Structure 1
Amino acid sequence: MAEYKGSSGDGNRIRMLEKQRENEIKEINKKKEKLKEEKKANVFSIHDKFQSVSDSSSSTSTQFQNVGLVSINDFHNNIKSQNNLNDSKNINNKRQTEKEIKKKSIVNKKLKITQKSKLSFELDDDGDGDGENNENNENNEENNENNEENKNDKENDEDNVNNNNNNKIKYFGKDPSVNTDFLPDIEREELEKLEREKLAKEWLDQQERIKSEEFEITYSFWDGSGHRRSMKCSKGTTIERFLENARKEFKELRGVSVDKLMFIKEDIIIPHNYSFYDLMLSKARGKSGPLFRFDVHEDVRLVNDATVEKEESHAAKMVESSWYERNKHIFPSSRWEYLAEDGFDTQDTDRKYTISDRLAKH
C-alpha cells in the first residue's frame, strides 16, 4: 500500500511544530524546577528551628536561661540582654578608672604645690634638710592617701547633689559700700508701704480726735437786724446739722426746713455739705475776715499800721433764702457771694479784708 508523503510545504510545517513543542516542554520543566526549589526553601529542618545550649559566646547566666529546647528568637534575645549587661558593667568600670585617674592627678598636683611651698634657707645643712623633706613628703603622701580614701565616699554622695545644684541659678549679692537707693528693692518697698500705712492711720486718728473737739460759735438770725446767739458743737459738725439745731432757738424758724436756710460767714455763702473742720483745716479767707474763726473779735489798735492786716472776725449769719432773694440788692446782702466752685480762697493774701459797701480794689 503506498504512503502519502505530501508536498514539501507540509514537511516544513511539521518540523516547525515539532520545534515549538520541544520549546514548550523545556519551559514546563524549568517551571517545575523553580517550584521544587521554592518548596525546599520554605521547609525548615528541626536543627534549623532549635539550637543546642552549648554555645561558646553565651555566658553562664544565659546557659541557665537556655536549658532545654529554646526557640532561636528567644536564644538571640537572651544573648542581646547579656551583652547589654556586659556593656553597662564595662562603662561603670571605665568611669571608676577615670575617677581614680583624676584623683591621682589631683594628689600629684597637691604634692607639687606643697613641695614648691617648702623653701629652705639653710645653706649648710643641705643633706639633713633633704632627708627631712623626703620623710615629710612620704608622710604627706600617706596622709593624702588616707584622706582621699575617706573623701571618695563623700564625693560619690556629693556627685548627685552637685548635679542638682549645677542646674540652679547663682546670684551675686549687692555691694554694701555702694548706694543702691535708686535700685528696686522689694524689702525696702514693703517697709516703706508699712510706714506709710502707719503714718496714714495715725493722721486719720488725729483728725478724728480734732473733729470730736468742741468749740463755741457765735451766730445770729438775720432778718434785717441781728438776733445773736451762741452754741457749742463739735468741729466735725456740718453746716446742715448746725442749721437744724440752731433754727430751734427761734420761733420764726421752727416751721422752716433746713433747705430754705442759708449760712453766711464773712460775706461768703457756704454750702450745707461743708463742715467747720473743713473751714478750720483750709484756713479759708472770706471778704471781711477769716472763715476759720467763729468768735466775735474786733481788732482795736492804738496805732494804725497799714502794713499789718486786721484780724477781725464777725458773727455768722443764718438767713432765710426768701428774705435774701427779696433784699439782695440792699446792704449788707449785696456783698454776699456764693463760694467759688474751686473751693475756698486760701492763697490770695494780697486781697485785703473789707467791710464797706464799696467795691474792693484787687
Structure 2
Amino acid sequence: MLIGIDKMNFFTPNTYIDLVKLAEHRGIDPNKFTVGIGQSKMAVPTITQDTVSMGANAALPILDATDLGKIDLIVVGTETGIDESKSSAAFIHQLLNIHPFAKSVEVKQACYGATAGLMMAKDFITTHPGRKALVIASDISRYGLATSGEVTQGAGAVAMLISENPRILELEDVSVSMTESIFDFWRPNYTDTAIVNGKFSNEAYVNFFSTIWEEFSKRTSYSLADFNAFCFHLPYSKMGKKALLPALENESEDVQKRLMSHYDLSTTYTKNIGNIYTGSLYLSLMSLLDSDENSLKSGDLIGFFSYGSGAVGEIFSGRLVEDYDKHLLKEAHQDMLNNRYDLSIEEYETIFTKELPKTDGTHPLSEAKYDKSHFYLSSITDHQRHYNERQ
C-alpha cells in the first residue's frame, strides 16, 4: 500500500517585522541577520493567533467534504500548546467540523513532534485502509525582545492530509530515529520563553544528522547521490547547511551542485517567516516544491532530516508522485506572503509584549487592524478559549 502526503498547506500570520529594520533599531549590522543566519523577515503573531487558530487556518483550504468524513485521526505536533491537559487537536477538530468518530491528540518533542505525528498517521492508514489522517504542526517561537535569539523567532503552521495513493509524496518504509537526553534547548513549564545553549544545539544537530545518516545509509544502501533533494528542519535558513556540507565533501561536483541548489530553494519560506518549530521541516518541503522550476520530476527521491532538541532526530525518505505539481498551492502561498502587514518597531514590540488574561470573567480580544485570518481567538471566558470565523 502506498501512503504519503496527499495535500499540504501552510499558514503564517499576516504581520511581520523586517529584519534589516530590526537590526538597525538594535544597533546591529544587518548582515549578521540577513547573511550570517540568512533571515529576511520574521512573522509576528497577534494575541488573537495561537497554536489552534494557526493550525486550523493551515488545514481549512485543503479539506473538502469527503476529507472531513474520512479523517479518523488528527495529530497536532507542537511545543507551544495552549493547555496543559486539553489538546490543540480537540479544538481544531471542532473548528474544522470533522466527523465525531475521530481521535484527536497532541504530540510533544520539541521540533520533532510533527514527524512523530506523520509516522503515526502512516501506521494508522496502513491498518485502516480507505481512511485518512490529518497531521498539523503549529508553533510560536519566542525568545524575548532584544535577546540573542530574537532574530530566530517566528510563527506558523503546516497541515498535511495523509492517505493511500497520495498525490504529492509517497513515504518509503525505512526510517531511522535516534534519542539522546540532552539540554541544548528546553522550556520549563514556568516560562514562556525557551532556554538555549546555542553552540551546543548546533553541534548536537550536526552530530544527530551524521550519526543517523550513517545508520540510514546502511539500512537502505542509499548514498547522497541517490537523492534529488534533502529537506532539513530549519530553525533558520543556514542551519541545515551546517549538516549537509560535511556529508557532501566526498560526493561528485554534480551531486553537490544538485543538492545544494535544491537546499537553497527549500529555505525561501523560512527566510521570510522565521522559525516555526515543528513545521519547519515541512515548510522547507513546500518551499522546495513551490520554488522549483522543473528540475524535479515524479519518482525523484527526497530525503528528510527531522530534529527536535532534547533530543530526537529521524531521517526518512519519499518519492514525488506523478503530476504532484498540479496539487501544490504555490500561488496561494505567494499571495499570503505578499499581502502581509509590515510592522513598525513600536507596533512589533507592542504586539510582542501583550499577554492573555489569566483571571475569571469574560475577556474579549481584538486585533482587527492586523489580524485578517479566517480563524482567530476571539475571547477568553472563565479560562476557556473561544474562537471565531470571519465570513
Structure 1 or 2: more helix by fraction: 1
Q: Normalization by structure 1: what TM-score?
A: 0.20
Structure 1 or 2: more strand by fraction: 2
Q: Normalization by structure 2: what TM-score?
A: 0.19
Larger Rg: 1
